[in-house]
């Protein structure tokens, strides 16, 4: 089972005034709350990397880990 961790660096992120990742993500992983962009549903990420490629401040990191089914 593949697990995905998405790290959003709030020091780099421009928040709601950007919001590109939230707009572009096909599976609605991100949410906009007040002026911040949050990683709301990383379990829906399908590793298309659109958000990484379009983020203007390189605020996102995606880590793929192999989880063990128990």
User: Is residue 35 near ligand SF4 by the rule CB under 6 A?
Assistant: no
DSSP secondary structure string, the chain? Answer: -EEEEEEE-TTT--GGGT-HHHHH-TT--EEEETTEEEE--GGG-----HHHHH-TT--EEEEEEEPPP-
User: Is residue 3 near ligand SF4 by the rule CB under 6 A?
Assistant: no
Measured from the CB atom, is 34 or 70 closer to ligand SF4? 34
Q: Residue numbers of the site for ligand SF4 (CB under 6 A)?
A: 6, 8, 13-14, 18-21, 24-27, 29, 37, 45-51, 55-57, 59-60, 62
């Amino acid at each position: 089972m593949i697990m995905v961790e998405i790290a959003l660096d709030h020091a780099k992120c421009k928040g709601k005034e950007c919001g590109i990742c939230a707009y572009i993500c096909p599976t609605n992983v991100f949410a906009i709350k007040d002026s911040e962009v949050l990683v709301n549903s990383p379990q829906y990420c399908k590793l298309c990397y659109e958000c990484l490629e379009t983020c203007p401040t390189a605020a996102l990191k995606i880590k793929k880990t192999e989880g063990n089914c128990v």
